[in-house]
């Protein structure tokens, strides 16, 4: 599998999990600077990951294995945190 797509997929997962918490709160009427920044940042991460996947040549993309594994771990932790938040919220 190409590292470019794994890298961008992990970035998109982090963006989705962050936005999954912030966007519903904004739509429900809660207003704060932190919620707005998280929502904008998460949407930006998703758009940037998709754009980079479509415009970058996978053969020219380079990232170390350690950095890629760190990002995959961060995506897994982000998903786990989002899942735990929704499972424990009444």
8 burial level (CB within 10 Å; 0-12, 13-18, 19+): buried
> Which residues in 44-64 are b (16+ Cβ under 10 Å) and which e?
ebbeebeebbeeeeeeeeeee
The pLDDT tens digits for 52-88 are 999 999 999 999 999 999 999 999 999 999 999 888 8
Residue 29: the pLDDT is 87
Q: Is residue 2 over pLDDT 80?
A: yes
Selected residue with higher pLDDT from 7 and 29: 7
């Amino acid at each position: 599998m190409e590292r470019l797509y794994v890298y961008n997929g992990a970035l998109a997962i982090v963006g989705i999990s962050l936005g999954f918490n912030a966007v519903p709160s904004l739509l429900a009427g809660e207003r704060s600077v932190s919620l707005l920044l998280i929502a904008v940042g998460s949407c930006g991460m998703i758009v940037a990951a998709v754009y980079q996947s479509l415009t970058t040549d996978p053969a020219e993309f380079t990232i170390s294995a350690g950095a890629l594994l760190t990002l995959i771990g961060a995506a897994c932790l982000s998903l786990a945190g989002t899942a735990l938040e929704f499972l424990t919220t009444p």
